Amino acid sequence: MRSSSAGGERRKPLRDHAAVREFIAAGKQFCGLFEGPVPGREAWCRAALTALSRIYAAASALPDPEWDRELDRWENPHRLSVRDRERITSVAAVVLGDEREYWVWLDPLDPPGPDAELENGDLVEDLAELYREIKPGLVALARNGARFLPRIVSAWKYPAFESSWGIVALNAMRALHGLVYGGLLED
C-alpha cells in the first residue's frame, strides 16, 4: 500500500521498513524457541534474551501504519489453540525448571514505600504471553502476505506494546539476564 505523506512524499511500504523486517525476523527467532528442538537451558535462555531484546528494540521503532479503510473490519483469524498454549508453557517450564519466578517493582519511577511489597513474576507465563502477542501476526503475514501488514503492525504496536507486552518483555529480559549472566544456569 502506497500513500502520500503530508509533504507529498511517498512513504515506503511497511514491508520495506527496517524495523518491521527486524521485528518479523526477531519474532520468528523467538517463536521458533517453542516450536523446534530445545537446546540446553543456557543456550535456550541466551537465545530467548537475544530475541526479546531484538523484538523490543524493533517494536519501539515500528512505524505508524497508514490506515486503509478496507482493513477496518479485518480481524486476525489466527488464534492459538489450547494445545498451542500448553506446548508453549510446557517448553518454557521444562527449560526453566525452578528458575521461573522473579521479583520486580512495577513502577521504577515511583520509589517503594517502607511497607511496599515486590510483585512476583513468572517467566514461563511471561514468555507464553509474549508468544501469544507475536505469533498470530506472523501467521497472518505468512498466510496473507503484505496485504494486511498495516493491521498486523498496528496489532503488534497499539496499545499492547506500550501498555502491556512491552512491559512484560522488559521484565522477562531482566529475569533472563539474571539467569544467563548470574551463573544460575547449568546444562
Task: Tell me the pLDDT tens digit for each residue of 21-76.
Answer: 999 999 999 999 998 888 888 999 999 999 999 999 999 999 988 766 666 666 76
Q: Which of the pair, 89 or 3, is modelled with greater confidence?
A: 89
Whether the CB-CB separation of 31 and 131 falls below 8 Å is answered with yes
* Residue spans per domain, the chain: 14-181
Report how far residue 180's alpha carbon sits from residue 186's, in angstroms, rounded to the nearest whole number. Answer: 10
What are the C-alpha distances in Å from 130 to residues 18, 57, 97, 138, 151? 21, 14, 19, 13, 18
Percent of the chain with pLDDT over 70: 85
Whether the CB-CB separation of 36 and 72 falls below 8 Å is answered with no
Which range of 63-67, 79-83, 170-174 scores highest in mean pLDDT? It is 170-174
Q: Residue 175: what pLDDT?
A: 93
Q: Residue 117: what pLDDT?
A: 75
Q: Residue 7: what pLDDT?
A: 47
Number of H helices, E strands in the chain: 7, 2
Q: Residue 4: what pLDDT?
A: 43
Q: Which of the pair, 75 or 104, is modelled with greater confidence?
A: 104
Confidence of residue 185 (pLDDT cuts 50, 70, 90): low
Q: Residue 59: what pLDDT?
A: 95
Q: Which fold has domain 14-181?
A: Four Helix Bundle (Hemerythrin (Met), subunit A) (1.20.120)
Asked if the model's pLDDT at residue 19 lies above 90, the reply is yes
Report how far residue 43's alpha carbon sits from residue 169's, in angstroms, rounded to the nearest whole number. Answer: 19
Percent of the chain with pLDDT over 90: 39
Which range of 3-17, 43-57, 65-79, 154-168 scores highest in mean pLDDT? It is 43-57
Q: How many residues does the chain have?
A: 187
